[in-house]
């Protein structure tokens, strides 16, 4: 008998006997593998959390009880159990299900999150809202062990421990093997430690110990340490106990005989509790267990072999940037690289292979990464921080206060700038131009192709202050590469094409589209100038001013937020220079962009060659019409 096809919501799941749950998990894994092998996605972590997801929905009264998924890229099983089974094949596709929790998508999704470390803080907010509203539902937060490196997680745990409210935090530890203390003895002890008799005895003993004059608190602490020793895990338990949590675990997160009774008992506990669950990334699919790094966020793959379906013939922009960094580091021992838990994603594995002692992975701690880089720079080093645009947002204050304000030579290699496709709303790099360019001392550049990228990495590292180079996700254009990276003159643009009707002033990868649009417009009889701005800050005021005075109108083009971005910078410059030329800014709207293939999204927002050409023609026609009316 097949069970998953009968489960339309958690209430249906509850109708099944416990002995049916392993088969439910097997069917969930089969469905996840079938879909993700075709469309790609976060696979390894989702395979590892299936039993825990099933157990939570089996025991909780969701959606009245609330589950907060930290990061929420491990919620595929959650989606399959909460009414989205028939739409699951659309996950991460344009117009389909999100790869993360999305409140707009389901009542079972309690909090939107694509960045790690937000779960506990949100859950504490849920708990306090419950108390103010005098409600009694349960709040459970599931965090991965990686999230414990995020400062926000520790801040949230600290407040939760101090408030002493009823809250269950489940630590889904999927980075370590199942050790001896996860076996039957440990499971037995944890069932014992969470049973009603033990809890009552423990509380009464604690009160008795505390009542002993002078030495009561010491005796109480000794009793806690004895309990941890019996569990076989001293240090982790003490850490959470000191934060005000009752610590339970670790238990095997793939064994319902351990998971269900322990979780059932833990849900009855009062006050903040942390349940430590050991799971295995990729559980149930050997290729994912063997290579959990690649299968963390994989492209489409052959389900039989686990091999990628498509292997790009050209390198990615990330690879070009880091390969350039390796060349530069060979020549300068002061260059070090810093990442916030993204060695593979940013391409730094190539750097680590050559310079393992010059790469620092600080965990999911972007704020620390930036200030750590500032400290290195203040003492004569040349730190480079490769980081996704969406994650640099988390270190906004540190970039201002610790780097830019002190004019320190920190290089930011901003990966995934612009549209990033299937990861969608939380991961598009739309705001970097806007949030960086108003910082005094900051230099910002974006290359038109991979050859210019290598020169810009060199330029950033050679610069005497903070500098950022921003490049897109995806493979390169395939242009010829200069043999040696060179330093570009700061703030100098280049004219790629002369013209007198309109000027297309583009930045980054939109330059290529602007050139194609200009060639198309030429066939319509329009003379179009194209400028590769190269720099968002500082702008080439002389060149841009000269071009603007020679044309009827200007269009700025960027794959970034129009509001406050590159186009805004050009308009501000025109105002300051008293340049009165009609200007239209093309870019991303004042909204959070949905998920979808890059090409499709570029087409939707008018950032393809065709879209640029069409908008340019309409703009030119309006200018001609306006000029004719004025002459009349």
Number of domains in the chain: 3
What tokens appear for 67 in the block? 């589950």
β-bridge mates for residue 494, sequence order: 532
Task: For residues 450 and 576, state if they share a domain.
Answer: no
Whether residue 115 contacts residue 70, with contact meaning beta carbons closer than 8 Å, is answered with: no
* CA–CA distance, 566 with 433 (Å, rounded to integer): 7
What is d(CA 374, CA 357) in angstroms, rounded to the nearest whole number?
18
CATH code of the domain covering residue 417: 3.40.50.970
The two structure tokens encoding residue 359: 């790469």
Is residue 231 annotated as a catalytic residue, yes or no? no
Which of the following is catalytic: 280, 394, 416, 470? Answer: 394
pLDDT, residue 177, reads 32
Domain boundary among the residues 470, 504, 525 is at 470
Q: Is 366 a catalytic residue?
A: yes
Considering the domain architecture, whether residues 72 and 169 belong to the same structural domain is answered as yes
Backbone angles phi, psi at 66, to 5 degrees: -110, 130
Count of positions (residues) in the chain: 632
Residue at a domain's end among 292, 325, 355: 292
In a domain, 324, yes or no: yes
Q: Is residue 479 part of a domain?
A: no
Report d(CA 114, CA 394) in Å as an integer.
12
Domain end (from 470, 485, 511): 470
Q: Are residues 28 and 143 in the same domain?
A: yes
Is residue 188, in this structure, part of any structural domain at all? no
What pLDDT score does 468 carry?
Answer: 98
Bridge pairing between strands 528-532 and 494-497: antiparallel
Within 10 Å of residue 203's Cβ, how many Cβ atoms?
Answer: 11
Per-residue burial over 9-44, b if 16 or more Cβ lie within 10 Å, else e, is ebeebeebeeeebeebbebbbebbbebbbebbbbbb
Is residue 52 a contact partner of residue 174, using CB atoms and an 8 Å limit? Answer: no
State the CATH number of the domain containing residue 586: 3.40.50.920
CA distance 96 to 121: 28
**Domain co-membership, 32 together with 71:** yes
Question: Would you state the pLDDT for residue 355?
Answer: 98
The two three-digit tokens of residue 420, written as one number: 């990033």
Q: How far apart are CA 285 and CA 488, in angstroms?
A: 49
Within a domain: 582 = yes
Cis peptide before 341 (omega within 30 of 0): no
Count CA atoms closer than 13 A to 578's CA, side-chain side. Answer: 0
Would residue 65 count as lying in a domain?
yes
Do residues 159 and 245 make contact, with C-beta atoms less than 8 angstroms apart? no
Q: 99 lies in a domain?
A: yes
Q: Report which secondary-structure segment, H or E, holds 335.
A: strand 335-339
Catalytic residue flag (residue 281): yes
Question: Per-block average pLDDT, block size 10, for the chain (632 residues)?
Answer: 94 97 97 96 95 98 97 95 96 95 96 93 97 97 89 94 96 60 45 54 57 59 54 62 90 94 95 94 94 92 92 93 98 97 95 97 95 98 98 97 98 97 93 97 98 98 98 96 97 98 98 98 96 98 97 98 97 97 98 95 97 98 76 46
Which listed residue (281, 358, 448, 537) is catalytic?
281
pLDDT at 181 (0 to 100)? 40
Beta strands 535-537 and 443-445, pairing class: antiparallel
The confidence score (pLDDT) of residue 195 equals: 61
Q: Are residues 287 and 145 in the same domain?
A: yes
- Retrieve residue 448's tokens: 């038109």
**Would 312 be classed as within a structural domain?**
no
| Residue range of the domain that includes 159 | 22-175+281-292
Are both 28 and 148 inside the same structural domain?
yes
**CB neighbours of 512 closer than 8 A, spacing ≥ 6?**
448, 449, 477
Nearest to 362 by CA among 374, 354, 379, 350: 374
- Among 366, 422, 452, 559, the active-site one is 366
pLDDT at 179: 32
Q: How many alpha carbons fall within 13 Å on the CB side of residue 83?
A: 9
- Residue 471 and residue 387 in contact, taking contact as beta carbons nearer than 8 Å: no
E-strand ranges in 185-332 read: 246-252, 272-278
Q: Do residues 286 and 141 both lie within one domain?
A: yes
Is residue 220 included in any domain, yes or no? no
Q: Are residues 113 and 167 in the same domain?
A: yes
Terminal-to-terminal C-alpha distance of the chain? 81
Nearest 5°: the CA angle 420, 423, 429 is 40
């Amino acid at each position: 008998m097949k069970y998953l096809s009968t489960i339309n919501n958690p209430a249906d799941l509850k109708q099944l006997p416990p002995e049916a749950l392993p088969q439910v998990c097997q069917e969930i894994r089969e469905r996840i593998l079938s879909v993700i092998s075709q469309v790609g996605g976060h696979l390894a972590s989702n395979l590892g959390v299936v039993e825990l997801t099933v157990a939570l929905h089996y025991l909780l009264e969701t959606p009245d009880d609330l589950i907060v998924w930290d990061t929420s890229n491990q919620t595929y099983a959650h989606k399959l159990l909460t009414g989205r089974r028939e739409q699951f094949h659309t996950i991460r596709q344009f117009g389909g299900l999100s790869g993360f929790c999305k409140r707009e998508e389901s009542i079972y999704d309690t909090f939107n999150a694509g960045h790690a470390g937000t779960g506990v803080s949100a859950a504490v907010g849920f708990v306090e809202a419950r108390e103010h509203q005098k409600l009694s539902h349960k709040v459970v937060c599931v965090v991965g062990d990686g999230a414990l490196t995020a400062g926000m997680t520790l801040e949230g745990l600290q407040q939760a421990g101090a408030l002493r409210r009823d809250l269950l935090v489940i630590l889904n530890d999927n980075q370590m093997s199942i050790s001896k203390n996860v076996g039957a003895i440990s499971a037995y002890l944890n069932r014992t430690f969470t049973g009603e008799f033990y809890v009552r005895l423990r509380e009464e003993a604690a009160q008795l110990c505390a009542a002993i004059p002078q030495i009561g608190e010491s005796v109480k602490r000794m009793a806690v340490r004895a309990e941890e020793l019996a569990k076989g895990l001293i240090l982790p338990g003490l850490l959470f106990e000191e934060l005000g949590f009752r610590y339970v675990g670790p238990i095997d997160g793939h064994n319902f005989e351990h998971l269900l009774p322990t979780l059932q008992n833990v849900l009855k506990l009062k006050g903040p509790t942390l349940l430590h669950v050991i799971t295995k990334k990729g559980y149930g699919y050997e290729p994912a267990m063997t290579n959990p790094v690649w299968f963390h966020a994989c492209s489409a793959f052959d389900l039989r072999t686990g091999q990628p379906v498509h292997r790009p013939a050209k390198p990615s922009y990330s690879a070009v940037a880091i390969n350039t960094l390796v060349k530069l580091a060979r020549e300068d021992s002061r260059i070090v690289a810093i990442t916030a838990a993204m060695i593979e994603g940013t391409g730094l594995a190539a750097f680590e292979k050559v310079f393992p002692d010059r790469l620092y992975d600080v965990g999911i701690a972007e704020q620390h990464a930036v200030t750590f880089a500032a400290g290195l720079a203040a003492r004569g080093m040349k730190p480079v921080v490769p980081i996704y645009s969406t994650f640099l947002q988390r270190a906004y204050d540190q970039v201002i206060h610790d780097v830019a304000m002190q004019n320190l030579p920190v290089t930011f290699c901003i990966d995934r700038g612009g549209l990033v496709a299937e990861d969608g709303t939380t991961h598009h790099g739309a705001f970097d131009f806007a949030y960086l360019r108003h910082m005094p001392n900051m230099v910002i550049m974006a290359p038109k192709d991979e050859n210019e990228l290598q020169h810009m990495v060199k330029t950033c590292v050679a610069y005497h202050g903070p500098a950022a180079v921003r490049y897109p996700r995806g493979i390169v254009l395939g242009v010829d590469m200069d043999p040696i990276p060179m330093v570009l003159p700061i703030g100098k643009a280049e004219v790629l094409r002369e013209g007198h009707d309109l000027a297309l002033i583009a930045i980054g990868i939109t330059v290529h589209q602007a050139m194609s649009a200009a060639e198309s417009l030429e066939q319509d009889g329009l003379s179009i100038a194209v400028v590769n701005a190269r720099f968002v800050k500082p702008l080439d005021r002389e060149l841009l001013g000269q071009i603007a005075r020679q044309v009827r109108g200007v269009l700025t083009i960027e794959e970034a937020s129009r509001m406050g971005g590159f186009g805004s910078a050009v308009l501000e410059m025109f105002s300051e220079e008293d340049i009165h030329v009609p200007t239209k800014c093309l870019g991303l709207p004042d909204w959070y962009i949905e998920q979808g293939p890059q090409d499709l999204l570029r087409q939707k927002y008018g950032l393809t060659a065709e879209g640029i050409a069409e908008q340019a023609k309409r703009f030119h026609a309006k200018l001609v019409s306006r000029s004719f009316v004025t002459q009349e």
